[in-house]
Structures are given as structure tokens and as C-alpha cells.
């Protein structure tokens, strides 16, 4: 406990703390969060495909958007 108190009293490097928190960036600039609603059936289909391909939901959605935008 005393070690934590000593560390707090010595102060923290704010830049170091900012680098450690949150998800790693996908690009140089911060990504935008776009809330989107899916029906239960749409979400089930999305998750089934994502699990089959071994990817997470966000990656699956980004892949679908890239494919749609390129068409």
C-alpha cells in the first residue's frame, strides 16, 4: 500500500498514461464510432459468419462495408 502512495505522491506521466489506456488505434487518427441497429436475425447471421471465419463482429461489419462500398 505504501508503494502505491509513494508512486501517487511522486506524480504520474500523463503522456504515458494516455498511451496505455483504451484500444490501440486502427489508424493515425482516431476512428469514428457509428452506432448501428440490427434485427435479431441480422445479428445472428452476422455472428454466424464471423464465427465461421474466426473474426470478431466489428471486423465482419467493416469487411461487409468495404465490399459494399467497392461494388
What is the per-residue pLDDT for 20?
58
Say whether pTM exceeds 0.75: no
Q: pLDDT, tens digit, for every residue of 20-71?
A: 556 666 666 767 889 999 999 999 999 999 999 999 999 999 999 999 999 8
Q: What is the pLDDT of residue 8?
A: 66
CA distance 11 to 14: 9
Q: What is the pLDDT of residue 3?
A: 75
Domain ranges in the chain are: 2-70
Q: Which residue did the predictor score with more confidence, 63 or 18? A: 63
Close Cβ partners of 60 (under 8 Å, ≥ 6 residues apart): 46, 49, 50, 53
Amino acid at each position: 500500500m505504501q508503494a502505491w502512495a509513494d508512486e501517487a505522491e511522486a506524480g504520474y506521466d500523463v503522456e504515458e498514461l494516455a498511451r496505455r489506456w483504451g484500444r490501440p488505434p486502427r489508424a493515425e487518427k482516431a476512428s469514428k464510432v457509428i452506432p448501428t441497429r440490427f434485427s435479431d436475425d441480422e445479428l445472428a447471421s452476422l455472428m454466424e459468419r464471423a464465427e465461421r471465419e474466426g473474426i470478431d463482429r466489428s471486423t465482419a461489419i467493416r469487411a461487409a462495408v468495404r465490399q459494399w462500398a467497392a461494388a
